[in-house]
Amino acid sequence: MDINNTFKITTINVSGLNTILKQEQVSNFMKINKIGCLIVTETKLQTTSAKMIYKDNKDITTWWSCDDDNHFSTGVGIIMDNNYAKFVIKKDIIEGRALKLTLLLKGKIRFTIIAIYNFSNNSYKDEIIEFYKKLEEIIIVEKKLQAKIICAGDFNACYDTMIAQQKANRKIFWKERIFQILKKNVMVDINLIYHDKPLNTWNRSDKKSRIDYIWATEDLIPDTIFASTNKVHIFETDHSAVTVYFQIDDLFHLKQISKKKKHNKNNLKIDYRDLYFTHHAYYASRAYQF
């Protein structure tokens, strides 16, 4: 399997994208890892500055969702290789919290990417519930249009905790309702397709959790090859990057909708140790670029 000949969607909380150095580091991270679509959360950008980022880079296109009044705790962006950006036909935003791109692929396939950055502070309960309502409305509309949907980003909620609560017959914490919304709309956590125990994505000295995700509608699963969680070595962040690898031909290169192959997840478990060392060696070999 050639992981370089794939369409990669990666989500990473960048912990701020408001310095030139960080912007260059994120751009290099995307280029070195050959990422087709990079979702960045907690950008801390205002609209005016977001418009200036990467404007001279002819290889990528960017879209941003900013909250200018609360920019230090918000911000979502999608950076896309122009080989794929040419398929984008529409953009919608939820100010500072979500960004939706609609792509029209060959075979008239509607492919929707929803990037989100959920509130980290639970004291904003009313705002979070309203955000979930808007997110669900977006998903329902896209499903009626028969779209294949990706929902990715920093959820600031833990699906593993919700699963544990369900197994213990306990009441589910209100903030984890986001996962109920996704499941109700026939979406799945792709990392759990390929790993029995996915790695944590947020790590601090006193706490760690899996709060960054890529979820997809079930009809997209046969197009995936695998998913991974990896530490970022190029720039400073307390989050890991979550990536899903898609078969390019199935989504972008065929002239007609391909027949889906039977998906057998039992044969597709990935050893994180091998993947980590492969990525680590790759970074080491390219270190001269930095």
pLDDT tens-digit series, residues 94-139: 999 999 999 999 888 999 999 999 999 999 999 999 999 999 999 9
- Tell me if 24 is assigned to a ligand binding site: no
Domain ranges across the chain? 6-289
Give the pLDDT confidence score for residue 280 in this predicted structure.
40
44-97 pLDDT per residue, tens: 999 999 999 999 999 999 999 999 999 999 999 999 999 999 999 999 999 999
In the predicted structure, residue 257 carries a pLDDT above the cut 80: no
Give the pLDDT confidence score for residue 1 in this predicted structure.
58
34-52 pLDDT per residue, tens: 999 999 999 999 999 999 9
Give me the residue label for tokens 């639970």.
122
In the predicted structure, residue 265 carries a pLDDT above the cut 90: no
Active-site annotation, residues:
117, 154, 239
- 164-173, 239-248, 277-286: the lowest-pLDDT one: 277-286
Question: Which 3-state string (H, E, C) describes the chain?
Answer: CCCCCEEEEEEEECCCCCCHHHHHHHHHHHHHCCCCEEEEECCCCCHHHHHHCCCCCCCEEEEEECCCCCHHHCCEEEEEEHHHHCCEEEEEEECCCEEEEEEEECCCEEEEEEEEECCCCCCCHHHHHHHHHHHHHHHHHHHHCCCEEEEEEECCCCHHHHHHHHHCCCCCCHHHHHHHHHHHCCEEEHHHHHCCCCCCCEECCCCEECCEEEEEEHHHHHHEEEEEEECCCCCCCCECEEEEEEEHHHHHHCCCCCCCCCCCHHHCCCCHHHHHHHHHHHHHHCHHHC
Give the pLDDT confidence score for residue 118 in this predicted structure.
98
Give the architecture-level CATH label for domain 6-289: 4-Layer Sandwich (3.60)
- Tell me if 13 is assigned to a ligand binding site: yes
Give the pLDDT confidence score for residue 205 in this predicted structure.
82
Give the pLDDT confidence score for residue 144 in this predicted structure.
97
- Tell me if 195 is assigned to a ligand binding site: no
